[in-house]
């Protein structure tokens, strides 16, 4: 959520943000409602002052004079009830409009309509040249009996699957390797709830906007999370942290659920776009500082790149354009792995910077460090938040299986994953 003071001071900035990100938000309507609410609240303050004054006078009066004051007090109370009703109505409208206002993108974010206009920053690693006809991940998985999409669909419908035998072991290995790496980097591991209340979904910026992508538990007013970013970022919601505690760095391995609404007929083949997957997610909660946010944005990107480099997978990094940014994101980097069967770099990670957008919604604050206070009281500020995928599987299995395949149909297991495979070995072969 944006500070209304910023919108009042520079409405053009947020009109531009909405236009650049392709959100239909009427800033003029918001500001008109803001003024109307301000007037109503001022009237209520006048009523409260008058009621208080009359309340003090009445005990000292008698007869007609007292009766007149009582009638005046009753009139004020009627006005107060009517204005409170108006405030409640307008406040609800105002709050809904405020939730629609997007975070302006950083100045170095490229303008663009969608992901086709993201700007490549750099490529890392070499794309393998095959001296035989390579298979795609589904062909490899079926031949090795490690992927079963047919039975997944039979049990749960389209975009579902089974990983079997060494496929399940490889899936668990890549996730555990990523978790171990992040813990060694000093991130605190959490095991998180996979269900979230509406205020948590709204606080992290998923609502409004991602309702169609979310699996909803109507009976309980809960939603299955699409990423552990939601519980990790909301972990301290409603709290005032100590400045000395920051930054807080968390990592979680969790299942994730996406309805993929609107994706009918898109990426239906294989394991690329599916309803359920597992992901290692990193979240940073830091001070309200543009410099700190920039620093940790680079850090979480570097963490994900280090995992990709350890897996020896070729990838590229892209600066995501305005039209592909979410409502709360000020800047986002995508990592895209090379996938031979798709003959392209395809998105596997997203590193997002939010400034205080999520923290305002979550009422997530901190008290300044004592060392920064000089002859004044310590301030309470909203935190900044950031998040990034460390690894997500089984999508990452697409480049692993396809790039590590051998002419005989076997798969070479990446070196860093071998100790996680039982029994320890260097290849997946047909049983």
Strand partners, 140: none
Structure-block tokens of residue 135: 């298979």
Q: How far apart are CA 224 and CA 217, in angstroms?
A: 8
- Distances in Å between the alpha carbon of 376 and those of 254, 289, 370, 373, 417? 44, 20, 10, 6, 54
**Placement of tokens 């206002």 in the chain:** 101
Angle, CA 230 vertex, CA 238 and CA 367 arms, to 5°: 30
Q: How far apart are CA 155 and CA 102, in angstroms?
A: 40
- Region of 409 on the Ramachandran plot (φ > 0 left; ψ -120 to 50 alpha; else beta): left
Look at residue 329 and give its three-state secondary structure. Answer: coil
Do 246 and 266 form a contact (C-beta atoms < 8 A)? no
- Give Cα 245 to chain centroid, integer Å: 22
Q: How far apart are CA 226 and CA 217, in angstroms?
A: 14
Active site residues per annotation: 258, 273, 347, 350, 395
Structure-block tokens of residue 262: 């609107």
Structure-block tokens of residue 158: 């389209």
- Region of 295 on the Ramachandran plot (φ > 0 left; ψ -120 to 50 alpha; else beta): alpha
Look at residue 427 and give its three-state secondary structure. Answer: strand
Structure-block tokens of residue 1: 């959520």
Q: Which residues of 332-357 are buried (b: 16+ CB within 10 A; e: fewer)?
A: bbbbbbbbbbbeebbbbbbbbbbbbb
Do 378 and 365 form a contact (C-beta atoms < 8 A)? no
Residue of 391, 337, 349 whose CA lies nearest to 178 = 391
DSSP 105: P
- DSSP string for 106-159: PTTSPP-SSGGG-EEEEEES-PPPPSS-PPPHHHHHHHHT-EEHHHHHHHH-TT
Look at residue 346 and give its three-state secondary structure. Answer: strand
């Amino acid at each position: 959520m944006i500070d209304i003071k910023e919108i009042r001071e520079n409405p053009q900035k947020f009109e531009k943000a909405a236009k650049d990100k392709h959100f239909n938000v009427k800033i003029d309507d918001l500001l008109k409602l803001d003024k109307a609410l301000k007037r109503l609240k001022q009237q209520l303050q006048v009523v409260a002052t008058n009621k208080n004054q009359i309340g003090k006078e009445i005990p000292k009066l008698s007869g007609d004079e007292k009766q007149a004051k009582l009638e005046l007090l009753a009139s004020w109370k009627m006005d107060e009830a009517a204005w409170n009703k108006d405030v409640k109505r307008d406040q609800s409208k105002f709050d809904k409009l405020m939730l629609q206002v997007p975070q302006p993108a950083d100045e170095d974010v490229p303008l663009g309509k969608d992901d086709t206009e993201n700007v490549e920053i750099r490529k890392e690693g070499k794309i393998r040249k095959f001296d035989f006809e390579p298979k795609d991940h589904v062909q490899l998985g079926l031949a090795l009996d490690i992927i079963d999409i047919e039975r997944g669909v039979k049990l749960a419908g389209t975009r579902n699957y089974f990983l079997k035998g060494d496929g399940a072991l490889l899936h668990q290995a890549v996730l555990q390797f990523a978790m171990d790496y992040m813990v060694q980097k000093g991130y605190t591991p959490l095991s998180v709830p996979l269900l979230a209340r509406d205020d948590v979904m709204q606080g992290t910026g998923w609502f409004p906007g991602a309702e169609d992508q979310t699996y909803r538990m109507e009976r309980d007013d809960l939603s299955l999370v699409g990423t552990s970013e939601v519980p990790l970022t909301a972990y301290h919601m409603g709290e005032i942290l100590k400045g000395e505690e920051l930054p807080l760095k968390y990592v979680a391995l969790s299942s994730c659920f996406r309805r993929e609404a609107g994706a009918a007929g898109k990426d239906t083949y294989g394991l690329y776009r599916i309803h359920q997957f597992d992901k290692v997610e990193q979240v940073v909660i830091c001070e309200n500082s543009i410099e700190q946010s920039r620093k940790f944005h680079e850090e979480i990107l570097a963490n994900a790149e280090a995992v990709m480099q350890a897996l020896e997978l070729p990838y590229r990094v892209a600066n995501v354009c305005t039209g592909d940014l979410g409502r709360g994101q000020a800047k986002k980097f995508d990592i895209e792995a090379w996938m031979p069967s798709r003959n392209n770099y395809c998105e596997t990670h997203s590193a997002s910077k939010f400034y205080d957008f999520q923290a305002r919604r979550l009422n997530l604050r901190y008290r300044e460090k004592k060392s920064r206070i000089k002859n004044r009281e310590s301030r309470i500020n909203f935190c900044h938040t950031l998040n990034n995928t460390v690894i997500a599987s089984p999508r990452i299995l697409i480049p692993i299986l396809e790039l590590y395949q051998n002419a005989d149909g076997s798969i070479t297991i990446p070196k860093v994953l071998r100790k996680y495979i039982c029994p320890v070995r260097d290849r997946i072969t047909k049983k």
